[in-house]
Amino acid sequence: MNVEETLHDAEQKMRGAVSFAREELASIRTGRANPKLLERLNVDYYGTAVPLNQLASFSVPEPRLLVLQPFDRNAIASIEKSIMSSDLGLTPSNDGNVIRLAFPPLTEERRRDLIKMARDRGEEGRVAVRNVRRHAKEALERMEHDHAISEDDLRRSEKELQRLTDHHVAEIDGVLGHKEKELTEV
């Protein structure tokens, strides 16, 4: 593996870490209805764990209401059970055809808890990016140690690696800042 491949591989892994952090932050509930909250939920459907988005369509008729239209009416009870056992803190109601999820306004204490959770998930994303940097740096240092690259090439590639790291950490910080702003809106 050469320097370019190492840096490209590191960038791909950093993008993956940012993408994962973005998904984790999107799954934190705000006072608004957002179908992304339900993306990671699995439903026990005839003995098989199936992602909820494969069992129902979602719509947001009002800012604080999410409506799920199951493709199979027999799945309504399983979908409700999955939502109740999740960490979303929502209580589903159904009329036999659709499931309605009402998003109550967040209390100040719940907002603080969610902001703390968002910051923790943001930090996990930053740590993942820094771990990628550390592994790539070790690979570059091995190349220099084995005389595959010069010391100058090592310094240049380490600067590029740090630039990539800073860029991806800043991206995570931006997503986190947006999420915190969403959580503090009343």
- pLDDT tens-digit map of 99-126: 998 888 878 888 888 899 999 999 999 9
Same domain for 113 and 177, yes or no, is yes
Structural domain including 58 reads: 35-102
- Indicate the number of domains in the chain: 2
Cα separation, 99 vs 94, whole angstroms: 4
In the numeric block, the tokens 């239209």 are attached to 69
CATH number of the domain bearing residue 96: 3.30.1360.40
pLDDT confidence of residue 186: 61
CATH number of the domain bearing residue 131: 1.10.132.20
Same domain for 161 and 134, yes or no, is yes
Same domain for 98 and 74, yes or no, is yes
More confident residue, 2 or 170: 170
State both tokens at 163: 């630039």
Same domain for 117 and 58, yes or no, is no
Mean of per-residue pLDDT scores for the chain: 88
What are the pLDDT digits (tens) for 13-68? 999 999 999 988 887 777 777 787 777 788 888 888 888 888 888 888 888 888 99
Radius of gyration (Cα) for the chain, nearest Å?
22
